[in-house]
Structure 1
Amino acid sequence: MPCRPIRFCIKSLKYAVALLLLVAVYINLNLGNRYRATLDTERDAAPDLRNIPVDLPRFLPNRTNGENDLAATLVTRTIQPNILIYNRVPKCGSSTVRFLIGRLRVRNRFNYKVHNWPNVRQSLTPTEEAELVQQVASLRRPVLFLRHLHYVDFARYNLTAAPVYFNMVRDPVDRFVSHFYFSRYGFKGWDEEKIKKWLWPMSEERRNMTLEDCVGRGVDKCIADNRENMIAFFCGQERGCSARNDWALRKAQRNIERDFALVGILERFEESLKIGEAILPRYFDSAVKVFHNYPEGGKKTKTAGKKEPSKSLRTILENGLKPEMELYNFIKRRLFMQYEILKRSGKLS
């Protein structure tokens, strides 16, 4: 039927056109929001551990190309790994860090799994490594896994999300001296039963040997006899990683660049914690505050019988530990650069 009157038809047509325009605007906005949300989700789903500020030259105006290449491997933004591994290097404040983590896990609500028993194996057979990977992958997340352990390449096992590592180191000479005495006397306050349970078996002659006597028999032999090698904790499980040579050193450096969000140094403990707060808040939020609230945490683990080496003895040990000194200096450069970038970008508390 024809529309009557004409005025009513025109008015109805105007309302219909306006309604169609409103529907079109709503659909366009809704689809746009969904598209933007999809992009945001995709970005969040695949965080880049090696992301650095786009305006890096502003932060590092006087750096060489080599130093800028080094900076490009640093984690300088917040990441939220579901599995964080602390493959603790002995005698680098690891007992203090463990004490701190024990309090942070309650505050920050993450799970915590510790492998800590006398003479825990640091170097694994292929079967032991596969079993360990399976154990870690099955842990309830988010989780921090802690063990004295040479680096394990979890990426080889095609996990849905490979874990992220962190660690702490210290001056290799200080670490060696501390380990030399700890392997003989343990911590202050330990009784004979605890010493017998936790320390390496050795003859009384060897136990009573001074550091000077040990080095006097040959620094390389003294270092080898004390077994611990900091490089292996970053190099890995291959047999060659137990050596102190250039191949093991370079492999350790590559693994640090690829899989370690943070390697702190004991001499800059608080700065290391601040970096942890900035880039790994799920685990390290309020770490500095908790550390200050529990100052006794690090006082219960002082090495018994330790004597500071003379200047000449320290020089001899530095020469004998050259590859570890190079790794330590590499880690120190990375840490200072990581701290500088985070501080200048306003990400440090």
Structure 2
Amino acid sequence: PMESGGEKTVDKRAIARHEVREIEQRHTQDGLRDRDSAATVSNSEDDVVIIYNRVPKTASTSFTNIAYDLCGKNHYHVLHINTTKNNPVMSLQDQVRFVKNVTEWREMKPAFYHGHVSFLDFTKFGVKRKPIYINVIRDPIERLVSYYYFLRFGDDYRPGLRRRKQGDKKTFDECVSAGGSDCAPEKLWLQIPFFCGHYSECWNVGSQWALEQAKYNLVNEYMLVGVTEELEDFVMMLEAALPRFFKGATELYKTGKKSHLRKTSEKKPPTKESIAKLQQSAIWKMENEFYEFALEQFQFVRAHAVREKDGELYLLAQNFFYEKIYPKN
């Protein structure tokens, strides 16, 4: 009986050794696999995707050109999302395709995507790593005036291109006093739905829910949202936060010929009366509330990141460190 007990023990040990060997082999294979996948994405910085879902007429072209100018030197890809008829809402099947592409298109990472698309929540599609969203918004009336003249006169970026309302010589003021549709308060409803996203209610003009959702997304889903009026500061903050993409951006913005691109031709500033008339509308009040909310948030972020000295802005150095690190070796 003793012998058989001893044999059992040997058996058990042999099996255990065999199992250990199997686990070790598996680990080595996993290690090799991990190493290979690590080689394709050398580090987490190279896996980053930025989405800039540009609101029309907010200086988005000027900003995007900085990304184009830097992508060669900083080694990332810039891709324009061109939607049919500039439709900011994607079909469900296109949303799935887009999320899949952005997430899995290894050869294009790191990437900077830009286009007139409303916010899309990647978590609903089960992805592990979300892209970084950024955006720029503008005073709603100024944005509308810019768009109004852009449709009539185009700009200096593609001067030969015929625009939708070309030949219509009516000024913005004339449009407002005549109650025209191109300068109607409904046309102000754009920045809210762009931030609100792909929900039906976002596109219901004047929806309180859409305003709240837009604010929620701005705070929770966007890394940084700048304002047209203070674009240089926005560029500077991005360079500080994401040097992998924006190293050299501030200098380029200050000295670049392209940074103030796309002046809308023939733009006449609206009169006080026109502005007052638009400001009476509930839609303006909501769009303006959203704009002020975004502006305040941007100024808050900036106040905690930069200081001004002799009229020059400079970034604060790192203000935290680690201590009381235990256990001691």
Q: Gaps (5+ residues) in structure 1?
A: 1-78
Within the candidate set 227, 231, 242, 2:192 is matched to 231
Deviation of the 1:280 alpha carbon: 1.8
* Structure 1 residues 80 and 262: alpha-carbon distance in aligned structure 2, compared to 1, 3 A threshold: farther
* Structure 1 residues 316 and 323: alpha-carbon distance in aligned structure 2, compared to 1, 3 A threshold: same
* 2:55 matched residue in structure 1: 89
* 1:64 matched residue in structure 2: none
Percent sequence identity over matched residues?
27
- 1:159 and 1:336 mapped to 2: Cα distance? 32
The count of aligned residue pairs is: 262
Is the partner of 1:133 in helix, strand or coil? helix
Within the candidate set 72, 90, 99, 1:124 is matched to 90
* Structure 1 residues 301 and 118: alpha-carbon distance in aligned structure 2, compared to 1, 3 A threshold: farther
* 1:259 matched residue in structure 2: 221
- 2:93 and 2:194 mapped to 1: Cα distance? 19
Structure 2 letter corresponding to 1:122: P
Deviation of the 1:318 alpha carbon: 3.0
Q: Gaps (5+ residues) in structure 2?
A: 1-44, 308-314, 319-329
- 2:253 and 2:96 mapped to 1: Cα distance? 35
Q: Note if 1:149 corresponds to 2:117.
A: yes
In the TM superposition, structure 1's runs of 4+ consecutive aligned residues that sit over 6 Å from their partners are none
- 1:219 and 1:322 mapped to 2: Cα distance? 20
Preserved contact between residue 46 and residue 109 of structure 2 (Cα < 8 Å): no
* Structure 1 residues 228 and 254: alpha-carbon distance in aligned structure 2, compared to 1, 3 A threshold: closer
- 2:47 and 2:306 mapped to 1: Cα distance? 22
Q: Note if 1:98 corresponds to 2:64.
A: yes
Is the partner of 1:176 in helix, strand or coil? helix
TM-score calculated relative to the size of structure 1:
0.69
Structure 2 letter corresponding to 1:263: V
Is the partner of 2:190 in helix, strand or coil? coil
TM-score calculated relative to the size of structure 2:
0.73
Within the candidate set 234, 245, 250, 1:272 is matched to 234
Higher RCO (C-alpha under 8 Å, 6+ residues apart)? 1
* 1:245 matched residue in structure 2: 207
- 2:233 and 2:159 mapped to 1: Cα distance? 35
Deviation of the 1:299 alpha carbon: 4.2
Within the candidate set 247, 257, 263, 1:285 is matched to 247
Q: Note if 1:163 corresponds to 2:96.
A: no
* 2:78 matched residue in structure 1: 112
Counting only pairs closer than 5 Å after superposition, residues 48-67 of structure 1 correspond to structure 2 as none
Deviation of the 1:218 alpha carbon: 3.6
- 1:285 and 1:189 mapped to 2: Cα distance? 26
* Structure 1 residues 278 and 191: alpha-carbon distance in aligned structure 2, compared to 1, 3 A threshold: closer
* Structure 1 residues 255 and 219: alpha-carbon distance in aligned structure 2, compared to 1, 3 A threshold: farther
* 1:303 matched residue in structure 2: 264
- 1:227 and 1:127 mapped to 2: Cα distance? 29
Deviation of the 1:128 alpha carbon: 2.1
* Structure 1 residues 264 and 125: alpha-carbon distance in aligned structure 2, compared to 1, 3 A threshold: same
- 2:157 and 2:87 mapped to 1: Cα distance? 25
* 2:183 matched residue in structure 1: 222
